[in-house]
Chain A
Amino acid sequence: MDYAITMKNIHKTFGAKTAIKDVSIDIKQGELFGFLGPSGAGKTTTIKIVTGQLKQNSGRATILGRETTALNHEIYSQVGIVTDNSGLYENMSCYDNLLMFSKILNTNKKEIMPLLRRVGLGGDRNKQVKKFSKGMKQRLVLARAMLNKPKILFLDEPTSGLDPSTSIEIHKLMLEMKNDGTTFFLTTHNMTEASKLCDRIALFNEGVIVDMGSMDELSQKYNKEKSVKILLNSGAEVILGLTPENSRRVAELINQNAVVTIHSQEPTLEQIFLKLTGRDLS
């Protein structure tokens, strides 16, 4: 199996504080992998280690088969990185920012405008970046990371602080890129984002992966009290466990045309995280 990203027993400390403890992950090519955890869990440190911006104390990490402690230009030319410290040249226009990186990465400058339109900045090409809102800057950073059509895209809280419509646009863009074969390493504390987008999710707390799997695997694993919630015509809500007796009752309610909605009651990522760590994701 060719893995885009591997991490084996990664350990990182800052002075006396341990930021990451024994983290091991293998991410397949084309996978959208989510790293879900609250602020301060060590997500950004992990991204910095795996992109070669920070060295681990022990353990081994690779991207595209190369050790992250010895990443070269060949690897960086196949990678895009979006973090909260991805700076922009604020005195330059939106277009000129991308033009400069297009020259550095040796990509066709004709691809800049379609890319800007794709992230909703086509009409702002000549605007100075310092006049941009946070959301516009975030979209420009994303466009810059996409300029070289990366094989792997590292996204650190890409929709944090963005309005819902911009977040939806960014999610659409990510799914389009995933369909084209891009591997994603996404860190987020937004469980809706993680459950909607990710093929697999690692639940991360205080530098430790507490569990990992697909959304279905995780929700089934922690769905101990299987039940359904039924909203009735009367406005009342009924929660019924999955027993033979209750299945007859559900059938009766449906026959009586008394049911408005019916939902299974598997736990959300937030509930799973709370159960495993005793803390919420915010």
Chain B
Amino acid sequence: MISTRKISAIYSKNIKSVLSNPFIAALPFMMVALAFIFHMITPEYATYYETASTLIMLVLMNVLIGGATIMAVLIAEEKEKNTLNVLITSTVSPLDFLISHVLTAATLTITVNAAMFYIMRVPDLPIVDYMIITSIGSIAAITLGATLGLLAKNQAAASTMGTPLIALVLLPSLITDNFIVDNILYYFFSEQINFAMVDLIRGGELDLLRIGIMAANFIAFALIFAVCYKKRGI
């Protein structure tokens, strides 16, 4: 059974201590700084679509590299400092532990997503729809990061393991018109964030299929985490 009391206790601890961890604190600040830099270097004559594309790229970087890495490092830190064992033997269930850490990583990632929205100022982009898409995508990425954290030996390894995820941002633009790559990537949450944002930028509405694929990604990653947890333990 899930305990909101325990989740709240661990979440509060995480939020208090997260900014003193250089592996974690650097990522949100770096993402916000990147948004400022891109906003400043985007010329005034840039088209609406150019500015929107920059925002999509930044969001994908934040969701994939920021969200997944923050989660991986949070879990690896608990393992490395031997506090995970203490929590599990202090009546905290693995699910309470996972939820409290997902909430912590989500708080940071979603806050940065919101900050990017205001920094990049893409006119006519509806904030509610933007936040729904990026938040669901963030939670899927964070759940993927949980497995990376479980597999990583320490915080340094966890932060390195998140780096290859950048391929999910770059692949669609590097490999164009490749049937196999396009079809595989279509079912990744990162590609669905991309498509859903393009829909909104073009004046379209939220597509439930895209939300469904991202939610399916989240469920699949949660199952992978459960299998890894069962096999490896803590």
A interface with B by C-beta (< 8 Å): 51-53, 73, 76-77, 79, 81, 85-92, 96, 100-101, 103-106, 144
Interface of A is mostly: loop
B21: nearest chain-A partner, CB-CB: A91
Name the B residues within 8 Å of A81 (CB-CB).
86, 89
Q: How far is the CB of A64 from chain B (nearest CB, A)?
A: 14
Decide: B17 and A76 in contact? CB cutoff 8 A: no
Report which of B8, B16, B21, B91 forms a contact with A76, defined as CB distance below 8 A. B91
Return the CB mask of B179-209 against A: 1 if under 8 Å, else 0.
0000000000000000000000000000000
Report which of B13, B16, B82, B91 forms a contact with A87, defined as CB distance below 8 A. B82
Q: Can you list 22 A-B pairs with a CB-CB distance of less than 8 A?
A: A51-B89, A52-B89, A53-B85, A73-B91, A73-B93, A79-B89, A85-B82, A85-B85, A87-B81, A87-B82, A88-B81, A89-B13, A89-B81, A91-B17, A92-B16, A100-B12, A103-B5, A103-B6, A103-B8, A104-B9, A105-B90, A106-B5
The CA-CA distance from A96 to B90 in the complex, in Å, is 16
Decide: B91 and A105 in contact? CB cutoff 8 A: yes
Q: How far is the CB of B13 from chain A (nearest CB, A)?
A: 5
Decide: A100 and B81 in contact? CB cutoff 8 A: no
- B163 close to A (CB within 8 Å): no
The CA-CA distance from A79 to B88 in the complex, in Å, is 12
The CA-CA distance from A152 to B44 in the complex, in Å, is 69
Q: A76-B90, A87-B85, A100-B13 are in contact. List 5 more A-B contacts (CB 8 A).
A: A73-B93, A89-B83, A91-B20, A96-B13, A104-B87
- B211 close to A (CB within 8 Å): no
Report which of A53, A76, A87, A105 forms a contact with B83, defined as CB distance below 8 A. A87
Known: A85-B82, A92-B16. A104 touches B92 (CB 8 A): yes
Name the B residues within 8 Å of A88 (CB-CB).
81, 83
Interface of B is mostly: helix
Decide: A104 and B89 in contact? CB cutoff 8 A: no
- B10 close to A (CB within 8 Å): yes
The CA-CA distance from A85 to B82 in the complex, in Å, is 6
The CA-CA distance from A76 to B85 in the complex, in Å, is 12
Decide: A101 and B90 in contact? CB cutoff 8 A: yes
For the complex of A and B, 6 pairs with smallest distance between CB atoms: A87-B82, A103-B9, A87-B83, A73-B91, A85-B82, A87-B81
Name the A residues within 8 Å of B82 (CB-CB).
85-87
Name the B residues within 8 Å of A96 (CB-CB).
13, 16
Return the CB mask of B5-32 against A: 1 if under 8 Å, else 0.
1101110110011001100000000000
Question: Quick one: which of B5, B12, B13, B82 has the most chain A CB within 10 A?
Answer: B13
Q: How far is the CB of B7 from chain A (nearest CB, A)?
A: 10
The CA-CA distance from A101 to B85 in the complex, in Å, is 13
B9: nearest chain-A partner, CB-CB: A103
The CA-CA distance from A164 to B83 in the complex, in Å, is 28
Question: Quick one: which of A79, A90, A103 has the most chain B CB within 10 A?
Answer: A103
Q: How far is the CB of B187 from chain A (nearest CB, A)?
A: 37
Report which of A51, A90, A92, A106 forms a contact with B13, defined as CB distance below 8 A. A92
The CA-CA distance from A96 to B13 in the complex, in Å, is 9
The CA-CA distance from A91 to B20 in the complex, in Å, is 7
Decide: B9 and A100 in contact? CB cutoff 8 A: yes
Decide: B10 and A100 in contact? CB cutoff 8 A: yes
Question: Quick one: which of A73, A87, A88, A144 has the most chain B CB within 10 A?
Answer: A87
The CA-CA distance from A89 to B86 in the complex, in Å, is 11
Considering the complex, which residues of chain B in the window 1-60 have a beta carbon less than 8 Å from any beta carbon of chain A?
5-6, 8-10, 12-13, 16-17, 20-21
Name the B residues within 8 Å of A106 (CB-CB).
5
